[in-house]
Amino acid sequence: MEADVIAIDNDRDTGGQNVYVCEVVTHMSGKLYSGSPDEGWWTEFTNTKAHQYSLQKLQQKFREDYRYVNDTFANADDHSYQFWAPVVTGWERGSGLINGLEELGNRFKDETGEELELIINQDYTERIQNLRKGAKGDTSDHGAPAFRFLQILENLK
């Protein structure tokens, strides 16, 4: 099990708990993973081996994430699964990779009953912009190194 981010949101008012599991790919070229794919549903969406392998690898990662989270946080009220990538090839064009990621989300929901949220390209940019806005003028230490870095950048004089 090697999820990139596991976050736990404990609601102090209700006592509820939501566990977030995120896989993050920060390859700025727009490609996700490289490798040789096995035969699978991903061949229906693209003839690019790297794209097929990316879909295969992400399916494997989210299946492992699901097993881990349900074993480790079985009593949590909610589990949220997210895929984050700043640049994914073909977002505007509806490429095979994007269509394959959407199919991955559909298959994940069919297998687990859980949503797989895709936070890629424009959605990723919006989320980061919102974090930047929140960091501007905020000098409190929230204990999150990435947010602290945004605070530094946004509050430079």
3-state class of 148 per DSSP?
helix
Q: How far apart are CA 146 and CA 26, in angstroms?
A: 14
- Answer yes or no: are the C-beta atoms of 31 and 18 closer than 8 Å: no
Number of domains in the chain: 2
Are 110 and 136 found together in one domain? no
Are 128 and 99 found together in one domain? no
* 17-28 pLDDT per residue, tens: 999 999 999 988
- Which residue range is the domain that position 74 belongs to? 5-120
Are 126 and 116 found together in one domain? no
Over residues 8-12, mean pLDDT: 91
Over residues 77-94, mean pLDDT: 86
Q: How far apart are CA 70 and CA 66, in angstroms?
A: 6
Q: With a cut of 90, say whether residue 70 has pLDDT above it.
A: yes
143 Rama class: left (phi>0) / alpha (psi -120 to 50) / beta: left
Q: What pLDDT, on the 0 to 100 scale, is given for residue 78?
A: 94
Task: Show the DSSP H helices in the chain as ranges.
Answer: 49-72, 96-112, 122-135, 145-154
Q: How far apart are the first and last CA of the chain?
A: 42
Mean pLDDT rounded to a whole number for the chain:
92
φ, ψ of residue 62 in degrees (nearest 5)? -70, -30
Are 129 and 71 found together in one domain? no
**Model confidence at 1, in pLDDT bands (50, 70, 90)?**
low
**Helix (H), strand (E) counts: the chain:** 4, 4
Are 111 and 131 found together in one domain? no
Are 54 and 24 found together in one domain? yes
Q: How far apart are CA 107 and CA 44, in angstroms?
A: 14
- Answer yes or no: are the C-beta atoms of 115 and 105 closer than 8 Å: yes
Are 94 and 157 found together in one domain? no
* 39-51 pLDDT per residue, tens: 999 999 888 899 9
